[in-house]
Structure 1
Amino acid sequence: MELKVGVVGVGVMGTYHAQIYAGLPGVKLVGVADPDPMRRRVIEQDLEVPAYADPEALLGQVQAVSIASPTSHHYQQTRLFLEAGVHVLVEKPMTPSLEQARELVQLAERRGLVLQVGHIMRFYQAVADLPNLLGNPWVIEARRVSNNRRIRDIGVILDLMIHDLDLILLLLREKPMRYTVVGQALDGRDEYAHAVLEFPSGTQAVLTASRVSPQPERSLTIAQPGEVVRMDFTNDPYTELSIHRAMSNGELGGPTHVHVERTSIHNENPLRRQLKHFVDRIQRDDPPLVTLEDDLLALEMALELSKALNSLPQDRRVMPYPR
């Protein structure tokens, strides 16, 4: 039996959701909702499904829904569908506050519904390979910069840096002890942020996110004993993996050279993989890739950094991470 799905919010990301659902086997896209009449007309013409102004119009028609509206609407809309017994995939960040996110998690658990957060980086093949490359890292550096201020209701930490916070927290499986954060706000939103997180294992994570950089870059670099591992995600759908190892000629104090292994990893449509995982969790009861506690931890850290950055935007802040 086909799973009847809908999409709320058909901007750039929501349109991708709708297009993929329309082509997924075992899934029927029954409609979308968006307040913009032009977006609705485009979807109705391209995908030949009804488009509504109000998300409530989808109630009674859908068994599952993607929420791809602005973050400020996530809590209200996710709650609306969960209370109606509908499974929900909500784009990151889940909500603008940790309290709202916890409430939604509890509601989904009480109702026995799938609630999944759209952290698309988890579905890159290159990211799936990362645990096999991880040793005892000294430093993990993540850079995610662009010149795109399209998202206006949240700052750069909740918009971009949260991707890399999520990956690092999943890789290390520990909470940071303390952090440093600096940045710059424009028009009331943080648009550039640089954070250093210190973990109990001794690893430091250095994260940079920007929406005002001229040259786009998405990369992750891991420095660990004997090697440096770098992944460059900039040129989708391929991730360029390079492993740099120092090689010695065996003589004490003799010269060394660096041997570099390079591999190109094809990431087969991570969004499709993410939506297929969501559908399989509902139809086949597949286990989740990560837990909702993992989602809450990434959101908690992003909110903590954002709060610190915006409280004293001109100062350097070094603060203990609350336990």
Structure 2
Amino acid sequence: MELNVGVVGVGVMGTYHAQVYAGLPGVRLVGVADPDPFRQAAIEQDLEIPAYSNPEELLGRVQAVSIASPTSHHYAQARMFLEAGIHVLLEKPMTRTAHEARELVRIAEQRGLVLQVGHIVRFYRAVSDLMQLVRGPWVLEARRVGNNRRIRDIGVVLDLMIHDLDLVLLLLKERPNRYTVVGRQVDGLDEYAQAVLDFPSGARALFTASRISPMAERSLTITQPGEVLRLDFNSEYTELSLHRAPLGASDPDKVEPNGRTQVQVERTAFNNDNPLRRQLKHFVDRIQKGEPPLVTLEDDLLALELALELSAALQPVMAR
């Protein structure tokens, strides 16, 4: 039996959700909701499905819904659908406050519904491989910068940095015990942020996020005993590289005559074959087949709470 789904908010990300659902086996996209008549018309023409002005009009038509509206609407919309017995995939960040997020988790668990947060980075194939390679890291450095200010209701920490916070928290499986964070505001919103987090294990994580950089970069570099792992994302593929001493070397720290240490590099390129599709299929499979979640809602809450804390503590960089 097909699962009737809908999408709330068909901006850039919501439109991607709708397009994926339209081609997903076992799923019937029955409609979308968005207050913008131009977006409604575009979806109706592209996917030949009804487009409504209000999310309430999807009630009674859907069994599951993706919510990709602005963050300021997440709590009210997600609560409405959950209370109506409808499964929800909620784009990150979950909500504007930790209290709102915990309330959604409470309702979903009480009613036995799937509530999944749209952390798409978890569904990159390279990330799955990376999880198997991380062992006692010393330093993790994440950079997520570009020139895109289309999100105007949240700052750069909740918009971009939260992706890398979530990934590092999943890799280290521990909470930080201290941090520092600085940033820069433009037009009243944090558009650049840099954070340093220290963990009980001794690992240190450095995060840089910017929506005002003239150059785009998405990378994660992990230094651990004897090797360095680096994940480079781009629009077509993700490259995972491993830098370490040559296998079988008697002394991995042996210095050559020119003063350099021998290093062996292994590179693997992963085609980014639509991680959003894998994310939405996982959501559907959880509903239809009872598959276990990739991560727990507590993991989602931890990433949100940390992002909110960093955002609140962010201190502007002083002009020199």
TM-score of the superposed pair, with normalisation by structure 1: 0.94
What is the RMSD of the two structures over their aligned residues, measured on CA atoms?
1.4
Question: Can you list the C-alpha shifts for 1:293-317, whole angstroms capped at 9, x where unaligned?
Answer: 00000000000000001xx4347xx
- Are 2:217 and 1:214 aligned? no
Contact map agreement 2:67 2:91 (CA 8 A) in 1: yes
The equivalent residue for 2:120 is 120
The equivalent residue for 1:12 is 12
TM-score of the superposed pair, with normalisation by structure 2: 0.95
- 1:245 to partner: Cα distance: 1.2
Q: Name the SS of the counterpart of 1:106 in structure 2.
A: helix
Rounded Cα–Cα distance in structure 2 between residues aligned with 1:252 and 1:96: 48
- Are 2:60 and 1:63 aligned? no
- Are 2:307 and 1:302 aligned? yes
Contact map agreement 2:228 2:242 (CA 8 A) in 1: yes
The equivalent residue for 1:109 is 109
The equivalent residue for 1:96 is 96
- 1:254 to partner: Cα distance: 4.2
Rounded Cα–Cα distance in structure 2 between residues aligned with 1:131 and 1:254: 30
- Are 2:301 and 1:313 aligned? no
Question: Can you list the C-alpha shifts for 1:146-179, whole angstroms capped at 9, x where unaligned?
Answer: 0000100000000000000000001110000000
Contact map agreement 2:255 2:262 (CA 8 A) in 1: no
Rounded Cα–Cα distance in structure 1 between residues aligned with 2:183 and 2:15: 32
Question: Can you list the C-alpha shifts for 1:200-246, whole angstroms capped at 9, x where unaligned?
Answer: 0000000000000011000000001111110101x223111111113
Rounded Cα–Cα distance in structure 1 between residues aligned with 2:76 and 2:121: 25
Q: What are the ranges of 5 or more consecutive residues in structure 2 without an aligned counterpart?
A: none
Q: Name the SS of the counterpart of 1:117 in structure 2.
A: strand
- 1:267 to partner: Cα distance: 2.8
- Are 2:307 and 1:266 aligned? no
- 1:195 to partner: Cα distance: 0.4
The equivalent residue for 1:320 is none
CA distance 1:250–1:22, shift in 2 (3 Å): closer
Contact map agreement 1:244 1:259 (CA 8 A) in 2: yes
- 1:266 to partner: Cα distance: 1.9
- 1:2-41 alignment to 2 at 5 Å? 2-41=2-41
Rounded Cα–Cα distance in structure 2 between residues aligned with 1:206 and 1:282: 37
- 1:268 to partner: Cα distance: 2.1
The equivalent residue for 1:244 is 243
**TM superposition outliers: structure 1 runs of 4+ over 4 Å:** 247-254
The equivalent residue for 2:228 is 228
CA distance 1:64–1:253, shift in 2 (3 Å): closer
- 1:261 to partner: Cα distance: 1.2
The equivalent residue for 1:191 is 191
Question: Can you list the C-alpha shifts for 1:241-268, whole angstroms capped at 9, x where unaligned?
Answer: 1111135675996423222111111232
The equivalent residue for 2:83 is 83
Contact map agreement 1:237 1:269 (CA 8 A) in 2: no
- Selected match of 1:280 from 276, 285, 304: 285
Q: What are the ranges of 5 or more consecutive residues in structure 1 without an aligned counterpart?
A: 316-323
Q: In structure 1, what residue type is equivalent to 2:8?
A: V
Rounded Cα–Cα distance in structure 2 between residues aligned with 1:250 and 1:131: 27
- Are 2:134 and 1:134 aligned? yes
